[in-house]
Amino acid sequence: MRLSWRQSSRSQDRFEKEIAQHYQRRVLAGVVVSTGPCPDEDFLRLLAKRSKRLELTGPKVDHAASCPLCMKRLLALRQEYHQRCRMWIVAGMIAGILLVGVAALVIIWH
Amino acid sequence: MPPTDRVRQELRWSSVYSTGNAASDEKLEAACKASWSYASLCAWTYLNDIDTAHDLIDHAIENASRYISRHPERSVDKLTARIKSVIRRRAKQLAAKTGRELSSGLLVDLEHFLIAPPVAEQRAYANELLDRLSPFALSVLKWRWVGYSWREIAKQLKMDHTAVRRAYFREIESLLHNLSRSGDLLECD
């Protein structure tokens, strides 16, 4: 029973990803109609970060996810955000290794 | 929802559940209007039947009219929160009564979509599917595309995350099932 639930969940996740990609292709091709004006850069930045301060049910989110221009910008901002996150993680790891190394040297020295 | 239904619904709100106090009736009407979209959402999420929203809101208004009669000083916000809470509870009760899960579509249809068809057919399926999605499911798809988790989405909708996820996949599986049965695919783009 548990195994089948896990399988189903995995299928759904995979399927969801496929559908999201199709949706993205459609928006970028200009097939989807978007309403209202484009939101500003700050809003898109918050959306790329998946900020919890944003109201998902608002028209701005709906527009950003259906306008080709906003979607392109959002994809770029998202990539930028992920790169920055990755850089911080690497920097944190290097700092941690250095700290442990220095601590080990101090212990050995004494 | 067609406009005629909305007019009928508003007429029913103002006439059937009158508290006899104009100020309370005004509050009740404002709270009902604010809760209508939530009733639709609950009907979609828990019951897979958007028309049940009328029954849900009727039940909640009946409850709220008694409440406002007892506490006429309560604000519209409090009344709205109470109505939404009653709607959610009622929807969960009805869902439990009708047998936990309404089967509509099979997981096999998802597997079929993912494994079997060639790219062109898959794209045609996906286009058809996206065209047929309900506004609720389309909104969920957009929020998921943006990258929000099920929990974050459900929190904004004031719902349980498993219920939202289940309702979304139930609709997709049902649409896929219908598509694979009828074979009425549109041309590929």
Percent of chain A with pLDDT strictly greater than 70: 91
Question: Is some CB atom of chain B closer than 8 A to the CB atom of A56?
Answer: yes
Instruction: Count the neighbouring beta carbons within 10 Å of the beta carbon of residue A29.
Output: 10
Taking 90 as the threshold, does the pLDDT of residue A70 lie above it? yes
Taking 90 as the threshold, does the pLDDT of residue A94 lie above it? yes
Q: Mind listing the pLDDT tens digit of every residue in chain B (189 residues)?
A: 444 455 455 545 555 567 777 788 888 888 888 888 888 888 888 888 878 888 888 888 888 888 888 888 888 899 899 999 999 998 888 888 776 555 555 555 566 555 555 666 677 778 888 888 888 899 999 999 998 999 999 988 888 888 888 888 888 888 888 877 766 544 443
Contact between B167 and B44 under an 8 Å Cβ cutoff? The reply is yes
Q: At what angle do helices B161-182 and B150-157 cross, to 10 degrees?
A: 110
In a domain, A107, yes or no: no
DSSP-derived secondary structure letter, B185? P
Which of B40, B146, B162 would you mutate first to test chain A, the one with the most A CBs within 10 A? Answer: B146
| Contact check, Cβ <8 Å, A12/B142 | no
Which of A3, A7, A10, A12 would you mutate first to test chain B, the one with the most B CBs within 10 A? Answer: A12
Give the number of domains in chain A. 1
Mean pLDDT of A39-60: 89
In a domain, A65, yes or no: yes
Domain residues for the domain of A56 are: 33-81
Taking 50 as the threshold, does the pLDDT of residue A5 lie above it? no
pLDDT score, position B114: 58
* Buried/exposed code over B155-179 (b: 16+ C-beta within 10 A; e: otherwise): bbbebbeebbbbbbbbbbbbbbbbb
| Contact check, Cβ <8 Å, A22/B145 | no
Question: Is some CB atom of chain B closer than 8 A to the CB atom of A45?
Answer: no
Question: Is some CB atom of chain A closer than 8 A to the CB atom of B81?
Answer: no
Q: What is the CATH number of domain B107-182?
A: 1.10.10
Q: Where are the domains of chain B?
A: 3-97, 107-182
Instruction: Count the neighbouring beta carbons within 10 Å of the beta carbon of residue A21.
Output: 12
In a domain, A57, yes or no: yes
Mean pLDDT of A70-99: 94
Q: A28: pLDDT confidence band, cut at 50, 70 and 90? A: very high
Percent of chain A with pLDDT strictly greater than 90: 55
**Which amino acid appears at position B176 of this protein?**
L
pLDDT score, position B120: 67
| Contact check, Cβ <8 Å, B107/A56 | no
Chain A hits for B110, CB-CB cut-off 8 Å, are: 11-12, 15
Chain A hits for B127, CB-CB cut-off 8 Å, are: 22, 26
Q: What is the pTM of this model?
A: 0.67
| Chain A residue with minimum CA distance to B120 | A22
